[in-house]
Amino acid sequence: MQNVIMHQVLLYSTFLIAILALFFGCYACGRVAKVQTAVKDLDWDAVANMTGDLATTKRTIQTLNNRINGMHSPKVAEQELMLQLLQNQGQQKNGKMVGG
């Protein structure tokens, strides 16, 4: 009795797996057909132009990120403090000699 139940479970589970595989295969074929129709009129010049535009956009984004990261770095604050110190020292000297 238990052997028969095991055979039925194996039979139905393999049938279910086969149906799922058929469904996923049809879904994949539909996606491939959709991509092929989308790129049917695309030529290599258009691909080259898109690649160049993408590289330009990437370079612009990297430059912007570097600028933004530079604004938040502690080096900028330290440089500003040093400039203020130098300016304050220049203003304190008034030409009078002390001592002697």
Write the pLDDT tens digit of every residue in 54-92: 999 999 999 988 888 876 666 666 777 888 888 887 666
Distance CA 69, CA 77 (A): 13
Does some domain include residue 1? no
| C-alpha atoms less than 13 angstroms from C-alpha of 59 in its C-beta half-sphere | 6
> Could you tell me if 47 and 64 lie in one domain?
yes
Distance CA 70, CA 62 (A): 12
Does some domain include residue 98? no
Does some domain include residue 51? yes
Distance CA 9, CA 16 (A): 10
Segment 53-63, tens digit of pLDDT: 999 999 999 99
Instruction: Determine phi and psi for 42, rounding to 5 degrees.
Output: -85, 125
Least confident of 18-22, 44-48, 54-58: 44-48
3-state secondary structure of 95: coil
Does some domain include residue 66? yes
Residue 39: pLDDT above 90? no
> Could you tell me if 32 and 60 lie in one domain?
no
> Could you tell me if 25 and 48 lie in one domain?
no
Does some domain include residue 58? yes
> Could you tell me if 19 and 53 lie in one domain?
no
Domain around 34: 10-41
Encoding tokens for residue 19? 């149906």
pLDDT at residue 82 in the model: 80
**Structurally, how many domains does the chain consist of?**
2
